[in-house]
Amino acid sequence: MASIEVPEVGRLVNVRGARWSVTDVSAQSLPRSSADDGRAELQHAVTLQSIEDDHYGRELTVIWELEPGRSVVREQGLPEHIDPSKFDNPSTFAAYVDALRWGALTSADPKTLQAPFRSSATVEDYQLEPLRRALESPRANMLLADDVGLGKTIEAGLVIQELLLRHRARSVIIVCPAGLQLKWQEETRDKFGLTFEIVNSETMKTFRRTFGVHANPFRVYPRVIVSMSWLPAPRAERMLEEVYASVKDAGTASRRAFDILVVDEAHHVAPATPGRGANDQKARYAIDSHRTVAVRRLAEACEHRLFLSATPHNGYTESFTALLEMIDQQRFARGADLDEQALREVAVRRLKRDLPKKGFLPRKVQTLAFEPTAGEAEAYERLIAFTKRRNAAVKQDRGKRATDLATLILKKRFFSSPVAFASTAEAYLAARGDDALDLPEYDDVLGEEAADEEEGRAEQPELEAL
């Protein structure tokens, strides 16, 4: 049986579909027993550093003899014979040189942009403002708080693409609600040509089969999308701990977990709204949720931070300043007085009425009166009577808040449609312990299809209230 070629330090190798440079080779102290393996042999731990654009600087250590699909790249010298017919057409070569010059120019001149011309999105002039600010700052830490429908996703995509093209960033992580993961993946692919991998409980099964049980998607993929509910889950935290440890290790080249962090619907990761005390006069402090803690820790290990939300302020200064502190801890501190000048430098906030030339129609609220039927009125009265009995039976403050939320949800579903109310009512009765009910799965009540613990389904406010 032919011996396996072990690469030397400085050689190029192909491992796991990418090209790496060998930085260290450590041989096993004693050979493996031939009684176990059929023949005695030494195994080698090979430390690699990626030279790919998307993984540049990332390190990986593998057991060379056990790594499937590995190969050593052979050295190739200059050609001995030149075939004139294989030269490029002069116009093609000139276009290549022009492209190199353009790329070099945009890397040096912040006023010359590439992203708007390399995307397939219809870019409006006002959407270039976040991109301009991002390039003028050493770190693109911004709160994109434009009104609904003004294209915050396109604004964030332009910033991401421009930073990647200028080599100011190589890795990106997007944190968003579970229902928006596919939307982000499709928009970044179709409009900006960027491939993002969704990391959740379902995709981890395929990932483990492809890369091995010990592989970490946060270290393999340069661009990933995770949901807010899955990020603080035990599995995600364990994998991120490995990334955080490599960032703190002085022996590695990586100093950031990810270069760019994007948080969509960022108001969901702000600390919970403070409640009232027993005398209903003094407000309590805002409480950090598991999402808040997870996103804050991730933000501390990222270089550029883009937080997107049309409603970032919930009316409580402490909660809002805590959100701003995640974006830029040099300018803001939780609970401190808000610096209006610093806020203007970080936040981008435009309403539709601020852009009259764009043709946005003004919003008009019109009341539509209707007369319920006798059956509808009777059903609503029965619902109100039921919720009053439940509210009277709950005496604890936390229980009352949960009951009020359950009542609000039931009323909203009642006015939505009979099917929506029936599904919510069945889930409500099941949560009370009625095991005799045979309930189907309702994604709109219980969230995405995945494990309850890992997807954070048990932390959803609707389920907790029910």
Number of neighbouring beta carbons within 10 Å of residue 351: 13
Under-70 pLDDT residues of the chain: 1-2, 31-40, 53-57, 103-110, 251-253, 273-285, 390-404, 432-466
CA separation for the pair 94, 405 (Å, rounded): 66
Nearest to 308, CA basis, from 120, 171, 158: 158
Q: What is the DSSP letter of 283?
A: B
CA separation for the pair 287, 1 (Å, rounded): 64
**How many CA atoms lie within 13 Å of 216's alpha carbon, on the beta-carbon side?**
18
CA separation for the pair 215, 58 (Å, rounded): 14
Number of neighbouring beta carbons within 10 Å of residue 297: 17
Q: Which two tokens stand for residue 411?
A: 């009323």
CA separation for the pair 37, 287 (Å, rounded): 57
Q: What is the DSSP letter of 334?
A: T
| Contact of 342 with 156, CB cutoff 8 Å | no
The pLDDT tens digits of the residues spanning 316-369 come to: 888 888 899 999 888 888 878 888 888 888 989 988 888 888 778 777 888 888
**Residue 186, burial from CB neighbour count under 10 angstroms (0-12, 13-18, 19+):** exposed
pTM over 0.75: no
Q: For the CA atoms of the chain, what is the radius of gyration?
A: 28
CA separation for the pair 254, 290 (Å, rounded): 26
Inter-axis angle of helices 181-192 and 152-165, to 10 degrees? 60
Q: What is the DSSP letter of 32?
A: B
